[in-house]
Structure 1
Amino acid sequence: MRCGGAGLRRANFTRAWAAALKKAKLSGFHFHDLRHTGNTFAAQSGATLRDLMTRMGHSSTRAALIYQHTAMERDRAIADALGKLAEEALKPEEPEPEEQDPDGSGT
């Protein structure tokens, strides 16, 4: 993103961000919102807390956890997956089928 042909710097970023929002017909968004969204999506895709900390440059878990938000769909998917695991673990084992003696001799 360039602002009037110049490289993007802190001094002209606000104008460039405002212009981008106007062009996208959006309002009320802050650049920092992208950080929230990116880290939330990374968490939902399966990133570990350590992955998130590295991506965000955080040294404490507390800081990284601030950016995680649980979506209802994700919570439902986790509950469903746990239910399936529990069902599989509780299923009685099926006995092995006995081999048939082809000549009937019993040996």
Structure 2
Amino acid sequence: MVAIIANRPKVAPQVFTYDCRRTAPPRAGRPKRIKGQRYPFSKQGWMRDWRRALTNAGIEDFRFHDLRHTAATRVVRSSGNLKAAQRMLGHTDIATTARYAHVIEDDLRRIMDAAHSPNSPRQVNEATDENRRKA
């Protein structure tokens, strides 16, 4: 992020700017906007674009905090490591992290299928133990 921000054009003192899409006359407390020029984001302009993006994506009831739940779920799903998710989220109590990392039916089905697979670690260990007893 630092490299990206450092290499941005230095046309405005603000970090987050937008490229004006159309020329607009001055309004109360705001100078004239010229198409193609960069201007700092206003909270109202950012929220308008954000709501439009959510609507276009068909997303309802979005909260930024939901992204923490999504991140925790993806980390646990891909790694199986709840402690890694705990550290990523900065939780001191693993029980809090467990509430963030959601398990869906597909996860359970995949785990159960793997447990019953002839190549699962438990199945392989049991087969190895059986072969040792026979020898």
TM category (shorter chain) comes to 0.5 to 0.7
Deviation (angstroms), 1:25: 3.7
1:52 is the counterpart of 2:85: yes
Deviation (angstroms), 1:82: 1.9
- Counterparts of 2:121 and 2:80 in 1: how far apart (Å)? 21
Structure with higher strand content: 2
| 1:99 alignment partner in structure 2 | none
Where structure 2 has 5 or more consecutive residues not aligned to the other structure, the ranges are: 1-15, 19-38
Aligned pair count reads 93
Question: Any idea what SS the aligned residue of 1:93 has?
Answer: helix
Question: Any idea what SS the aligned residue of 1:45 has?
Answer: helix
Where structure 1 has 5 or more consecutive residues not aligned to the other structure, the ranges are: 97-107
Q: Which has the higher contact order (CA 8 A, sep 6+)?
A: 1
Percent sequence identity over matched residues? 25
**What letter is aligned with 1:46?**
S
| 1:30 alignment partner in structure 2 | 63
| 2:40 alignment partner in structure 1 | 6
TM-score for the superposition, normalised by structure 2: 0.52
Q: Is the 8 A contact 1:17 1:31 kept in 2?
A: no
Deviation (angstroms), 1:19: 4.0
TM-score for the superposition, normalised by structure 1: 0.63
* RMSD, aligned α-carbons: 3.1
- Counterparts of 1:19 and 1:89 in 2: how far apart (Å)? 55
Q: Which has the larger radius of gyration?
A: 1
